């Protein structure tokens, strides 16, 4: 215990000099796949051989990540969530995977995942037990950090069940310091904000940024559009508090993408994808990659949307306003043209009244886009219909979009430089229309 307190002192001192965790990881929102939402804690491999949390499942998904093109598109983590370990530690306190479900051990599985060009993630809990009741890390931080480093783990989600919501912060900080000392860069995904918010405690975002590469802000996602809507609402209601803290190396995490499962229609799938992309969210899929339909797969592999999510500035977007029950969400991205950012803008319908619903918006008043003397308007690219030609909208003009019930439209608004043939600004031909 003394050792822990000493380490914590050093950690706090060392972290005082930097503003964020600098382990070189998660410079862009992490992308990959994760077991929890689709496969939960299924452990009966006799009854559910294709779904139980096991070496076979992870290998099957790793193979599909490559063969279905997800790795090429940027999804490179394959993460096991809860329910992988034995119910007891061994005599030395070391945690082992369940031997029936992981017959060759975790190092073997990590090697397999790495051999595919993918990264390997695992799950633990800061408290005495994981949420599903498996052994937690408490009192075993050093042993587990060493074990994970030996297995060559690349990502760890550390949950917050069976722990005190206030005290867990210093435990997370301590664990981060211990993991750092292993010398293996491991992406650190924390959960303490979600547990603190449940108890109406405002998380200390400065400590979060110094400690974690990403963190779950709020409730677990479930397989329904209403769950996506609730999380979306949390992010708009609280955006002035949480949005400023997201950025390269440290991200807010609204939880996994549920596209490809049972709960979302095609339109609702577009809605989750667009909002998560505006939020600069980690794009972690939790589905069975073997049964994702071609239309949904096309959404998940949409390179232009992925490029928005992965924009190098890493600025989380914001909810702007609601016009006739269509929410407008907006995120600044590159390129910047004459001091004006490009923006990704989503129109997210909360309407269920039958027909597609059209709204007409002003660029400046309704969308809050900037115009200056060098910018004559915006070229608008449809991110869900990437084969469509962009439309030009004048600075003082309006843009009309028609959104399907419960769905979303998503666009990239690129500033267009005024034609300056006789002007003083100078212009690159590529920017003029
Ligand atoms: C440990 O922390 C230092 C200081 O922030 C950092 O430079 C280094 O990359 C970290 N190492 C690992 C393995 O995370």
* In-domain check, residue 431: no
Q: How far is the CA of 181 from the centre of ligand 1 (A)?
A: 8
**Same-domain check for residues 328 and 299:** no
How confident is the model at residue 431, as a pLDDT? 41
Q: Does some domain include residue 429?
A: no
Q: What is the CATH number of the domain that holds 359?
A: 2.60.40.1180
| Contact predicate 360/399, CB 8 Å | yes
SS (H, E, C) 241-269: HHHHHCECCEEEECCCECCCCCCCCHHHH
Asked if 238 and 154 sit in the same domain, the reply is yes
Element (H or E) spanning 336, and its range?
A: strand 326-337
- Between the CA of 209 and the centroid of ligand 1 the distance, in Å, is 14
User: For every one of its 433 residues, what pLDDT tens digit does the chain have, with 9 covering 90 and above?
Assistant: 334 444 444 444 444 444 789 899 999 999 999 999 999 999 999 999 999 999 999 999 999 999 999 999 999 999 999 999 999 999 999 999 999 999 999 999 999 999 999 999 999 999 999 999 999 999 999 999 999 999 999 999 999 999 999 999 999 999 999 999 999 999 999 999 999 999 999 999 999 999 999 999 999 999 999 999 999 999 999 999 999 999 999 999 999 999 999 999 999 999 999 999 999 999 999 999 999 999 999 999 999 999 999 999 999 999 999 999 999 999 999 999 999 999 999 999 999 999 999 999 999 999 999 989 999 999 999 999 999 999 999 999 999 999 999 999 999 999 999 986 654 444 444 443 3
Q: How far is the CA of 30 from the centre of ligand 1 (A)?
A: 18
Q: CB–CB of 246/28 below 8 Å?
A: no
- Ligand 1 centroid – CA 284 distance (Å): 24
Do 124 and 184 share a domain, yes or no?
yes
Q: Are residues 287 and 377 in the same domain?
A: no
Are 347 and 250 in a shared domain? no
Mutate to test the pocket of ligand 1, among 180, 182, 185, 211 (most ligand atoms within 8 A of CB): 180
Residue 424 within a domain: no
Q: What pLDDT is recorded for position 109?
A: 98
| 402/326 Cα distance (integer angstroms) | 10
Name all contacts of 264-269 with Cβ < 8 Å and 24+ positions apart.
Answer: 264/223, 264/224, 264/225, 264/228, 265/225, 265/406, 265/407, 266/295, 266/296, 266/407, 267/404, 267/405, 267/406, 267/407, 267/408, 268/225, 268/228, 268/406, 268/407, 269/296, 269/299
Nearest to 174 by CA among 123, 140, 130: 140
Question: Residue 422 has what pLDDT?
Answer: 55
> Where a domain ends, among 309, 330, 347?
309
Nearest residue to 74 (alpha-carbon basis) of 37, 29, 110: 29
* Pocket of ligand 1 contains residue 22 by CB under 6 Å: yes
185 C-beta closer than 6 A to ligand 1: yes
Give kind and range of the element (H or E) at residue 169. Answer: helix 168-181
The rounded distance, in Å, linking the Cα atoms of 275 and 298 is 17
Domain stops at, among 245, 278, 309: 309
Position 328 scores a pLDDT of: 98
Which residue among 309, 340, 356 closes a domain? 309
Domain count of the fold of the chain: 2
Q: What is the pLDDT of residue 421?
A: 64
> Could you tell which of 10, 23, 187 is best to mutate to test the pocket of ligand 1, judged by most ligand atoms within 8 Å of the CB?
23
Q: What CATH number did the domain enclosing 167 receive?
A: 3.20.20.70
**Mapping DSSP to helix (H, G, I), strand (E, B) and coil, where does residue 102 land?**
coil
Query: Does the CB atom of residue 23 touch ligand 1 within 6 A?
Result: yes
Active site residues: 159, 220
Nearest-angstrom CA–CA distance, 22 and 35:
27
Is 390 near ligand 1, meaning CB less than 6 Å away? Answer: no
Q: Provide the residue range defining the domain that includes 121.
A: 4-309
């Amino acid at each position: 215990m003394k050792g822990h307190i000493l380490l914590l002192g050093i950690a706090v001192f060392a972290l005082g000099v930097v503003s964020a965790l600098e382990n070189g990881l998660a410079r862009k929102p992490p992308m990959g796949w994760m077991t929890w939402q689709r496969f939960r804690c299924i452990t009966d491999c006799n009854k559910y051989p294709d779904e139980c949390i096991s070496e076979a499942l992870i290998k099957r998904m790793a193979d599909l990540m490559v063969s279905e093109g997800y790795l090429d598109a940027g999804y490179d983590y394959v993460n096991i969530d809860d329910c992988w370990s034995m119910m007891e530690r061994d005599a030395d306190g070391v945690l082992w995977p369940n031997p029936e479900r992981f017959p060759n051990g975790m190092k073997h599985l990590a090697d397999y995942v790495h051999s595919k060009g993918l990264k390997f993630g695992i799950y633990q809990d800061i408290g005495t037990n994981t949420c599903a009741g498996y052994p937690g890390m408490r009192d075993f931080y050093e042993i587990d950090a060493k074990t994970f480093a030996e297995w060559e783990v690349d990502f760890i989600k550390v949950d917050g069940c069976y722990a005190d919501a206030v005290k867990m912060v210093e435990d997370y900080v301590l664990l981060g310091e211990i993991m750092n000392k292993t010398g293996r860069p491991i992406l650190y995904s924390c959960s303490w904000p979600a547990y603190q918010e449940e108890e109406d405690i405002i998380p200390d975002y400065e400590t979060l940024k110094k400690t974690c590469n990403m963190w779950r802000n709020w409730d677990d996602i479930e397989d329904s559009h209403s769950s996506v809507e609730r999380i979306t609402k949390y992010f708009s209601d609280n955006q002035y508090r949480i949005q400023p803290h997201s950025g390269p190396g440290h991200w807010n995490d609204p939880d996994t993408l549920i596209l490809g499962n049972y709960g979302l229609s095609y339109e609702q799938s577009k809605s989750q994808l667009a909002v998560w992309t505006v939020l600069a969210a980690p794009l972690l899929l939790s589905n069975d990659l073997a049964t994702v339909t071609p239309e949904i797969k096309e959404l998940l592999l949409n390179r232009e949307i992925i490029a928005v999510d992965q924009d190098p500035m890493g600025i989380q977007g914001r909810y702007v306003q609601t016009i006739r029950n269509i929410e407008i969400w907006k995120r600044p991205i590159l390129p910047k043209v004459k001091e004006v950012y490009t923006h990704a803008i989503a129109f997210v319908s909360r309407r269920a009244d039958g027909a597609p619903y059209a709204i007409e918006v002003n660029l400046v008043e309704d969308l809050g886009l900037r115009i200056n003397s060098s910018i004559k308007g915006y070229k608008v690219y449809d991110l869900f219909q990437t084969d469509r030609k962009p439309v030009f909208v004048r600075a003082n003009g309006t843009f009309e979009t028609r959104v399907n019930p419960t769905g979303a439209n998503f666009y990239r608004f690129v500033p267009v430089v005024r034609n300056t043939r006789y002007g003083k600004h100078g212009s690159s031909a590529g920017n003029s229309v």
